């Protein structure tokens, strides 16, 4: 039995189910659009500047994927909040911070989703060989606005778990609500 124990332990470690909570999934997935949208915007802008269709396609593709990731990240937000409530971890996290993050996330997800749709049309128009420069300009504009919106959402989300980045304000004000 002594010789088979290490193999058994290794098998257990390799085959065990990962214990990942809804909150953990949200933290993993929310980085994709926050990084993907500005990366896609940079690629698209470079492709437009250089007139290189391959780079334009890459940028548009990244924007489509980042927009989808934004939707998935948004959908994991409510389960993440419930997971924190279930383990009693919301004690030091004011509800007002979560609400502000949730409202901003809805707007940013809408922008990223619209950007993904416009980028998808731009990809389709490129494939057809028809004029797609207007669609690409629209996708780039939405990506730049989306980058700002997603950055703000990320800042608000960070404030939920990181009190050290919350703005200093008197207790009970809108920027530093009193604990419940």
pLDDT one-digit tens code per residue, 134-154: 899 999 999 999 999 999 999
Would you state the structure tokens that stand for residue 69, as one six-digit string?
């990731």
Would you state the structure tokens that stand for residue 146, as one six-digit string?
């989306």
Q: Within 10 A of 106 (CB to CB), how many other CB atoms are there?
A: 13
List, for residues 109-122, the tens digit of each pLDDT value. 999 999 999 999 99
Residue 120 to residue 61: CA distance in whole angstroms: 7
Contact between residue 151 and residue 41 where contact means Cβ atoms under 8 Å apart: no
Crossing angle of the two packed helices 53-86 and 133-161, in degrees rounded to 10: 30
Confidence (pTM): 0.79
| First and final C-alpha spacing in the chain | 55
Residue ranges of alpha helices (H) inside the chain are 5-15, 22-29, 31-50, 53-86, 95-128, 133-161
Task: Find the mean pLDDT for residues 153-178.
Answer: 70
Residue 12 has pLDDT above 70, yes or no: no
Residue 155 to residue 43: CA distance in whole angstroms: 24
pLDDT at 89: 61
pLDDT at 92: 58
Q: Over pLDDT 70: what percentage of the chain?
A: 77
Residue 176 to residue 92: CA distance in whole angstroms: 12
Of residues 18 and 108, more confidently modeled: 108
């Amino acid at each position: 039995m002594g010789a088979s124990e290490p193999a058994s332990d290794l098998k257990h470690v390799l085959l065990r189910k990962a214990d990942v909570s809804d909150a953990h999934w949200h933290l993993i997935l929310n980085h994709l659009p926050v990084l993907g949208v500005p990366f896609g915007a940079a690629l698209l802008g470079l492709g437009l500047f250089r007139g290189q269709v391959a780079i334009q396609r890459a940028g548009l593709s990244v924007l489509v994927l980042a927009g989808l990731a934004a939707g998935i990240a948004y959908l994991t937000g409510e389960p993440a909040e419930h997971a924190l409530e279930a383990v009693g971890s919301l004690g030091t996290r004011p509800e007002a911070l979560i609400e502000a993050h949730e409202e901003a996330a809805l707007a940013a997800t809408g922008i990223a989703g619209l950007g993904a749709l416009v980028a998808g049309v731009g990809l389709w128009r490129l494939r057809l060989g028809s004029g797609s420069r207007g669609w690409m300009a629209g996708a780039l504009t939405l990506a730049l606005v989306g980058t700002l919106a997603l950055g703000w959402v990320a800042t608000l989300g960070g404030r939920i778990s990181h009190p050290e980045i919350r703005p200093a304000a008197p207790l009970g004000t809108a920027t530093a609500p009193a604990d419940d």
